[in-house]
Amino acid sequence: MNVLVVNAGSSSLKLRVLGEDDAVLAETTVERWSGGDETGPLQDFLGDAPAVDVVGHRVVHGGSAFTGATVIDDDVRAGVEALTGLAPLHQPRALAGIDAARRLLPGLPQVACFDTAFHTTMPAAATTYAVPAAWRRKWDLRRYGFHGLSHAYASRHAAALAGRPGARVVSCHLGSGASLAAVAGGRSVDTTMGFTPLAGLVMGTRSGDVDPGLLIWLQRAGLALDDLEDGLEHRSGLAGLSEVGGDLRDVRKAADDGDERAVLALQVYVHRLRQGIAAMTASLGGIDVLVFTGGVGEHDAVLRAETAEGLAFLGIDLDTGRNTEAAADGRVSRDGSAVDVRVVEAREDVEIAAQTRALVNDTDRRKR
């Protein structure tokens, strides 16, 4: 079964066709994709790609309604659209990808795979905000968690590579957006993001956790709500700390050149990352495997070393040579390290394809 994976980001469109054993049969990335009613990029890709049997879409937010992969029909599309306010950068793009694929491939099953779904196994103690109960009931306020497709694949794959299929895994998805997940036996039990993808770690341009009292104070001081939102989403994180930008590579170069703002930005980033890993370990009652994935997690050996250096008390012991030369799916911990540390290539597409195939096969069995 060939699966077309449609991964619509906030500014790009990633397309892949995965065949048997998840071999990549065709792929392309459309940068600066505007969404809307565009079918051209997908149509051009399909013109050169192998025939596909089913389409799997990444959707960032499933709210409480969508707790697993779901076959898309008009009602499901409407449900996804109703959640736009919770993920305004990503949800409209996912809908644009869904609409384009449904127009161009009307006879094929289309499946929505939700980033939030992986975290629906978290216990109530991890999902419940300590705010008035009336608020929680009226607006369904809870910690949803994100990057679930990436965490699901990375944690499962790292545990398999380590030979510990039921392991306690802390998964670090580190890119322009960043989050951690605590995974026990393949099930998410905690994560750093919350009601929105703003919470948790310091990110490229997003603030991560901020004292809510500070936000109230800023509004009373005269900062407009739109300016507050824009600042937290687009002008905070590494960009706000360093004033260089949100790309960690640029911040590290500035720090190496002696820029004190960039040095502080890296220190804050690593401090919060160590703190988060320790918190996820506490939620698991220990740690067997630590996995780094995402653009930063996979490629920044210095960051991995700095992070591990402050976590030796957990039994994390990196091998300098392995870490420096790390390749996809490589082990970077020393022989004898209590914690197996892995670098895993981010493959949301593999997770989407697996969920899509499983749902379609199950649906076909039910029809027989």
Mean pLDDT by runs of 10 across the 368 residues of the chain is 91 91 94 74 92 97 95 97 89 93 95 98 98 96 97 98 95 96 98 95 96 98 97 96 96 98 98 98 98 96 97 97 94 97 97 97 75
What's the pLDDT at 143? 97
Could you tell me whether strands 3-8 and 54-59 are parallel, antiparallel, or unpaired per DSSP bridges?
A: parallel
Query: What does the alpha-carbon distance between residue 303 and residue 316 come to, in Å, rounded to a whole number?
Result: 14
User: Residue with structure tokens 């127009």?
Assistant: 103
What is 164-343's CATH number, 3.40.50.720, 3.10.20.600, 3.30.70.990, 3.30.420.40?
Answer: 3.30.420.40
Q: What pLDDT score was predicted for residue 36?
A: 67
115 has catalytic annotation: yes
Torsion of CA 17, 18, 24, 27, to 10 degrees: 20
Delimit the CATH 3.30.420.40 region(s) of the chain.
Answer: 3-144, 164-343
Compute φ and ψ for 34, nearest 5 degrees.
Answer: -90, -10
Rounded distance, CA 186 to CA 300, Å? 26
Classified by CATH at the fold level, domain 3-144 comes out as: Nucleotidyltransferase; domain 5 (3.30.420)
- Of 21, 22, 44, 115, which is the active-site residue? 115
CA 144 to chain centroid: 12
Phi, psi at residue 304, to the nearest 5°? Answer: -60, -45
Q: Are strands 24-30 and 13-18 parallel, antiparallel or unpaired?
A: antiparallel
